[in-house]
């Protein structure tokens, strides 16, 4: 166990992906809860099939745990995890004023420093892997979005210890879905773009409307001009508020 971390930590100097390791553990019948943490990843994976550049100096961690069978769990833990990262930074670096971008990116001044990849990695019982990549010492170059980092003065182990504490609290609040209303309200209070203009792109399809909030399955609810609500489950979204923030920080 790493000092200051409530859950056991399996540490690797180098691994393909901590989320893939969680899947292997689930295949072997393990249930967690535990953290899988690596100094670097050779096959770091991100959302939308992207890779996640994983060089030493940043946090690459997966929280692996099991829950009673609940169909919306995987969709909802995404918001639980983003809130926990937000909570962590509000303690360690409050002056950075982090915000959350749907569904689970955490940003500073419009630039992303954290991505979350939640996956169901096993059944009976349901095993969940919440992969968190937090840029601490450096941010990758060449990303399709502006990227930033928390700053080299923070130790990776300090971020992990605080994240463990905050994630434990948020998972307790979520209570396997029974507390999702409170999670959704807390998420909304920290989210970028709520109530403003949003554009969602999926393949060649593009929709523009107003960001009305989160559905119970985590979908972004986009209201078109004539009042129709369209649930957006995946793909790229851009918010007028975020674009304005990025222009301000450019
Ligand atoms: C995103 O694209 O926003 C999600 C990135 C998630 C990266 C983390 S790093 C630890 C874990 N292992 C992986 O391969 N991916 C996640």
The strand pairing partners of 230, in sequence order, are 222
Atom of ligand 1 at shortest distance to CA of 18?
12
Ligand 1 atom, smallest distance to 41 CA: 14
Q: What CATH code would you report for 197-249? A: 2.30.30.100
CATH topology of domain 9-189: BirA Bifunctional Protein; domain 2 (3.30.930)
105 Cα nearest atom in ligand 1: 3
Task: Report the pLDDT value the prediction gives residue 4, as an integer from 0 to 100.
Answer: 58
CB 220 within 8 A of CB 211: yes
Two tokens, residue 73: 């769990």
**Nearest atom in ligand 1 to 38's CA:** 10
Ligand 1 pocket by Cβ (under 6 Å): 17-19, 41, 44-47, 50, 52, 60-62, 105, 115-117, 131-133
pLDDT at 44: 98
Q: Looking at ligand 1, which residue's alpha carbon is closest to its atom 15? A: 45
User: Strands of 99-101's sheet, edge to edge?
Assistant: 9-15, 34-41, 59-67, 126-134, 111-122, 105-108, 99-101
pLDDT of residue 136: 97
Helix/strand/coil percent split, the chain, to 5: 30, 35, 35
Please tell me the distance between residue 175's alpha carbon and the centre of ligand 1 in angstroms: 24
pTM flag (> 0.85) = yes
Domains 9-189 and 197-249 share a fold: no
Residues 92-116 as b or e (16 or more Cβ within 10 Å = b): bbeebebbbbbbbbbbbbbbbbbbb
Residue 159: the pLDDT is: 97
Q: Residue 199's pLDDT is what?
A: 95
What residue ranges do the domains of the chain occupy? 9-189, 197-249
Write the pLDDT tens digit of every residue in 69-112: 777 887 899 999 999 999 999 999 999 999 999 999 999 999 99
CB 64 within 8 A of CB 25: yes
Alpha carbon of 250 to ligand 1 centroid (Å): 26
Q: Which atom of ligand 1 is nearest to the CA of 19?
A: 12
Q: What pLDDT was estimated at residue 1?
A: 41
Report residues of the chain scoring pLDDT below 70. 1-5
Q: Ligand 1 centroid vs 233 CA: distance in angstroms?
A: 19
Distance 59 CA to ligand 1 centre (A): 10
């Amino acid at each position: 166990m790493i000092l200051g971390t409530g859950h056991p930590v399996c540490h690797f100097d180098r691994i393909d992906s901590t989320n893939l390791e969680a899947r292997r553990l689930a295949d072997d019948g393990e249930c967690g809860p535990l953290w899988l943490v690596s100094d670097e990843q050779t096959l770091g994976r991100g959302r939308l099939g992207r890779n996640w550049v994983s060089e030493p100096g940043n946090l690459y961690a997966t929280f692996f745990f099991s829950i009673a069978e609940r169909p919306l769990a995987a969709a909802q833990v995404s918001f639980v995890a983003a809130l926990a990262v937000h909570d962590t930074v509000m303690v360690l670096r409050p002056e950075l004023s982090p915000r959350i971008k749907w569904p689970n990116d955490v940003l500073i001044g419009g630039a992303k420093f954290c991505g979350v990849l939640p996956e169901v990695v096993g059944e009976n019982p349901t095993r969940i892997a919440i992969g968190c990549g937090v840029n601490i010492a450096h941010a990758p170059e060449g990303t399709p979005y502006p990227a930033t980092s928390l700053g080299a003065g923070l130790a990776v182990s300090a971020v992990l210890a605080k994240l463990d504490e905050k994630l434990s609290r948020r998972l307790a609040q979520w209570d396997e879905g029974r507390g999702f209303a409170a999670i959704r309200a807390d998420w909304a209070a920290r989210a970028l773009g709520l109530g403003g203009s949003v554009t969602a792109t999926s393949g060649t399809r593009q929709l523009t409307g107003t960001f009305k909030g989160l559905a119970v399955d985590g979908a972004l609810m986009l209201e078109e001009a004539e009042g129709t609500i369209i649930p957006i489950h995946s793909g790229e979204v851009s918010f007028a508020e975020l674009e304005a923030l990025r222009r301000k920080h450019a």
